[in-house]
Amino acid sequence: MPTADTAALRIRNVRLIDGVRDHTVEEAVLEADENGLITYAGPAAGAPPIRFGQREIDGRGGTLLPGLFDCHTHLGMPSDRSILEVALMSDPVLTMLDTVTRLESTLQSGITSVRDLGALPVGFRDAVAAGRIAGPRIQTSVAVISHTGGHADTTLPSGKRLDLESCVIADDPTEARVAVRELLRAGADVIKICTSGGISSARDDPDDQDLLDDEIRAVVDEAGRHGGRAVASHAQGRAGILAAARNGVRSIEHGFGIEQEGIDALGERDAFLVPTLSAVFQPLDPSETTPWRYQKKLRWNGIAKENIARAIEQKVQIAVGTDAGITPHGENPLELTYLVELGMSPIDAIRAATATSARLLGVDDRLGTLQPGRLADVVLCATDPLKDIRALGDPARITLVAQQGVVRSTRLGDPTVDALNAERSHS
């Protein structure tokens, strides 16, 4: 539900969490110019007077935050149907339209930027960037690389193959390098590999190492040769986590089995952990899954909670990702609730979803904090998330989302805005 298209925005009557300060600013104002660049974010008392052409919005005492990031989505995958059903039983046009709907609901939940780690073609990224559809800013890996029989091998237990374009198999360093080149040719912004097996794959285990050390090094080198692109790795068990961290991967995805060695390896290399707790805290119903998957999940959820809590305690550099597609779309900010449940402070959870995630995606010079010169990607929450972090995960309490100063969705209602505009034209 896009509203006005001017980027010259002024939001008043808000509590500000700017992603820089440790504390909130009560009675704050944020201003952006016609290019959607922030010109002021701070106390109302110090704000410049309203200018002609600015759209002023009354934030109604809500809390204004930088637009949130989800650094691990699968927007091309529905969360309510199996990959089999989509691959074999669904009309491709309807499947594409479903993705458009998911992009919208993700944006409306407060997520203004995503990194998609498998199954999202670059056309969606480009369509959002061109303003043809509404959605978060997108970086996409397009596909996932793993070895034969590994986490992203979509050969089914029947022996039949799905042959999904989103899964690429590589079994030696040369094949790994070729796989990276193919994905870069397809327009990938980031490379996603598997260095461990997975919970959802039938014939491997999170304890198994997927790509081997020399294959990981080939991927990291090839990605780096092309504009310094980063590599993200699905790494759940200890072996896969250590192999990824020691061979130059920038972010460990899931990291459920991260132990002290893994925590140290990340710290030494300034790498990131994206714990995808939404998958860990997802309700488990044995009647809705296969027995082997249920047993794996039960075991690994326990391991994950213990290890991620330790990583939080030791201040590992954590960025926010949900694995949406495996978990529901459009409720992404619930991830912050789970981080807080495992010991992170609410302000640190917000920083993880904004400034830290922006750093992981290499866009922290433009996004992730609300300060002059940055793009006005903002989210307004009706209540104070520092008092109750669950508010951010409740779409009904996300009252406004803007990207680069342009309001993408609002529950505040346009009459307020119009009244203010009328007031302004009289003054």
Contact residues toward Zn ion (CB under 5 A) are 323
Nearer Cβ to Zn ion, position 65 or 271?
271
In the bound complex, which residue of the shown chain has the CB atom lying closest to Zn ion? 323
Nearer Cβ to Zn ion, position 323 or 331?
323
Smallest separation, CB 318 to Zn ion (Å): 16
3-state secondary structure of 328: coil
> What token pair was written down for 337?
């609730």
Q: Which residues are within 8 A (CB) of 212 and not within 5 positions of it... i.e. 6 or more apart?
A: 147, 243
Smallest separation, CB 20 to Zn ion (Å): 30
Nearer Cβ to Zn ion, position 109 or 251?
251
Smallest separation, CB 171 to Zn ion (Å): 22
Partners of 73 in beta bridges: 116, 324
Smallest separation, CB 72 to Zn ion (Å): 6
Smallest separation, CB 420 to Zn ion (Å): 43
Nearer Cβ to Zn ion, position 75 or 375?
75
Per-position b or e across 405-420, b if 16+ CB within 10 A of its CB = bbbbbbebeeeebeeb
- Identify the burial level of 196 via C-beta atoms within 10 angstroms of its C-beta, where 0-12 means exposed, 13-18 middle and 19 or more buried: buried
Partners of 161 in beta bridges: 155
- Identify the burial level of 95 via C-beta atoms within 10 angstroms of its C-beta, where 0-12 means exposed, 13-18 middle and 19 or more buried: middle
DSSP characters for 359-422? HHTT-TTTSSS-STTSB--EEEESS-TTT-GGGGG-GGGEEEEEETTEEEEESS-HHHHHHHHH
CA angle, corner 197, sides to 305 and 147, nearest 5? 155
Smallest separation, CB 135 to Zn ion (Å): 18
Nearer Cβ to Zn ion, position 215 or 323?
323
Smallest separation, CB 331 to Zn ion (Å): 16
End-to-end CA distance of the chain: 30
Nearer Cβ to Zn ion, position 323 or 377?
323
Nearer Cβ to Zn ion, position 28 or 319?
319
> What token pair was written down for 13?
């009557």
The residue type at 422: A
